[in-house]
């Protein structure tokens, strides 16, 4: 069997060195963001369970913004609707890049992470529905809470226990999380939109189109783009669609590769990569940690309160969905694709590595907390129980993943050493395949939204 054939039939094949380097840089920034996220959540938990918990609640419930524009929102709502729009803008940029110039443009490469992400959404939702059935009230609205994967939290775990995780596995985890984000965006837009107002939604198309026209012409001036983005966000918020969707729509208008008039793909990074480089630190370093700080604070009420929360069938459904449902869904879908395509794990890897990644997929934090608030209402008793379950399920998933990945640390170290050998000293480790041809954008104007 030739090397090319072996790569085509591998579940976790390496990408080119250029793509691997780009993803490594992204993951390093997300790892720092994950540490900040965990720090913000920990401060919130300690504060909300201290004698000064009232001050935390007051801060979170303080109303800020102009009432005339219906933007007199609580600080916590600003974090969920506003700051997370920045997070979803970055997710949208990465998602579009994957479809235009990354693995998701190749059906063979995309099949495994896409199927894994879909399986990781369906199985937890089904388990939640089975467990929470009969809980009464609005329990059914929480079905989507255990379906999300928090890549920043997962990478923070990897920074401690998986420093030598092979690049192919890190890439698979990131691609799975990107598709997971797309599914989460669709779920929020379709199932958690109430009181839809068509006029503002149609009105949002005007600033969105103007934003798209400018970025297609490679205009980067913040004083032009930022007001248009803000107006799009305001109108989407007014429409009843969750405002974070505006971030994704804006991201989808940004071109990924350079047009022929701009020098073509070889002239340097496209505007999407430029924006991602500028905005990702804001998302990972400010937006997500602040949201975690304002969302994760739940008054547990000691051991008795913890027992009450974790015996709620809604909380049990969430925890089981994260710890059991996500791994089962990811592993089952991956196995089915591997049987259909006759693919096997890459040399040196096996299904235990897939299990470790599947367990990491059970770390649902940022988007899970957001969906919990949308499902049950911020500050409600059921939302508090959901938060406890998300925290408990994510921590247990992290611990189980750590055990599995630690058991494979020697193998990962050997693969890491092999990926560091550069005998010809050309700056590219010898195990990496040559750069694939880049997709060309031959459009000379804004009519080809690449």
Give the CA count within 13 Å in the CB-facing half-sphere of 253. Answer: 24
- Its pTM stands at 0.85
Answer for the pair 142, 130: CB distance below 8 angstroms, yes or no: no
pLDDT in tens, 280-328: 999 989 999 999 999 988 888 777 777 888 889 999 999 999 999 999 9
pLDDT at 9 over 60: no
Q: Which of 208, 157, 239, 90 is nearest to 449 (CA)?
A: 208
pLDDT at 219 over 50: yes
Token pair belonging to 316: 């049990």
Instruction: Round to whole Å and give the CA distance between 31 and 157.
Output: 9
pLDDT in tens, 58-70: 999 999 998 887 8
Range in 76-90, 282-296, 408-422 the model is least confident about: 408-422
pLDDT at 392 over 90: yes
Give the start-end residues of each E strand in 1-157: 63-64, 73-74
Q: Greater confidence, 34 or 345? A: 34
Range in 103-107, 131-135, 197-201 the model is least confident about: 103-107
What is the percent of the chain with per-residue pLDDT over 70, rounded to a whole number? 87
Alpha helix positions (H), 267-380: 271-282, 288-295, 302-311, 313-320, 326-341, 351-360, 366-376
Token pair belonging to 233: 């966000």
- pLDDT (mean) for 421-438: 65
Answer for the pair 177, 149: CB distance below 8 angstroms, yes or no: yes
Confidence class of residue 5 from pLDDT cuts 50, 70 and 90? very low
Answer for the pair 64, 414: CB distance below 8 angstroms, yes or no: no
Q: Which of 210, 207, 197 is nearest to 238 (CA)?
A: 197
């Amino acid at each position: 069997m030739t090397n090319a054939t072996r790569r085509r039939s591998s579940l976790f094949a390496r990408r080119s060195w250029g793509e691997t380097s780009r993803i490594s840089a992204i993951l390093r920034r997300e790892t720092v963001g994950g540490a900040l996220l965990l720090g913000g959540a920990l401060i919130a938990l300690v504060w909300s369970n201290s004698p000064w918990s009232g001050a935390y609640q007051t801060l979170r419930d303080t109303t800020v913004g102009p009432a005339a524009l219906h933007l007199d929102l609580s600080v916590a709502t600003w974090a969920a609707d506003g700051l997370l729009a920045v997070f979803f803008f970055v997710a949208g940029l990465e998602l579009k890049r994957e479809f235009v110039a990354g693995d998701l443009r190749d059906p063979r490469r995309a099949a495994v992470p896409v199927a894994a992400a879909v399986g990781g959404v369906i199985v937890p939702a089904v388990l939640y529905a089975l467990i929470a059935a009969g809980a009464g009230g609005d329990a059914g609205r929480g079905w989507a809470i255990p379906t999300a994967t928090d890549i920043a939290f997962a990478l923070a775990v990897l920074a401690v226990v998986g420093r030598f995780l092979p690049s192919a596995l890190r890439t698979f985890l990131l691609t799975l999380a990107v598709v997971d984000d797309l599914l989460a965006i669709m779920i929020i837009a379709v199932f958690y939109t109430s009181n839809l107002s068509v006029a503002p939604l149609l009105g949002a198309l005007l600033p969105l189109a103007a934003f798209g026209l400018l970025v297609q012409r490679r205009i980067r001036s913040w004083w032009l783009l930022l007001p248009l983005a803000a107006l799009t966000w305001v109108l989407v918020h007014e429409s009843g669609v969750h405002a974070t969707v505006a971030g994704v729509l804006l991201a989808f208008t940004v071109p990924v590769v350079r047009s022929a008039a701009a020098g073509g793909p070889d002239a340097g990074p496209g505007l999407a990569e430029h924006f991602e480089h500028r905005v990702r630190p804001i998302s990972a370093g400010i937006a997500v940690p602040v949201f975690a700080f304002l969302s994760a604070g739940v008054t547990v009420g000691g051991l008795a309160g913890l027992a009450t929360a974790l015996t709620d069938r809604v909380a049990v459904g969430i925890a089981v969905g994260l710890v059991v449902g996500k791994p089962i869904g990811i592993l089952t879908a991956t196995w089915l694709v591997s049987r259909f395509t006759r693919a096997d794990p890459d040399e040196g890897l096996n299904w235990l590595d897939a299990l470790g990644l599947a367990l990491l997929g059970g770390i649902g934090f940022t988007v899970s907390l957001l969906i919990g608030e949308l499902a049950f209402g911020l500050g409600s008793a059921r939302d508090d129980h959901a938060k406890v379950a998300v925290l408990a399920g994510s921590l247990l998933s992290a611990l189980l993943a750590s055990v599995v990945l630690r058991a494979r640390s020697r193998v990962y170290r050997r693969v890491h050493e092999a990926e560091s050998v550069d005998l010809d000293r050309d700056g590219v480790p010898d195990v990496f395949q040559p750069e694939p041809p880049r997709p060309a954008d031959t459009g000379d104007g804004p009519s080809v939204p690449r």
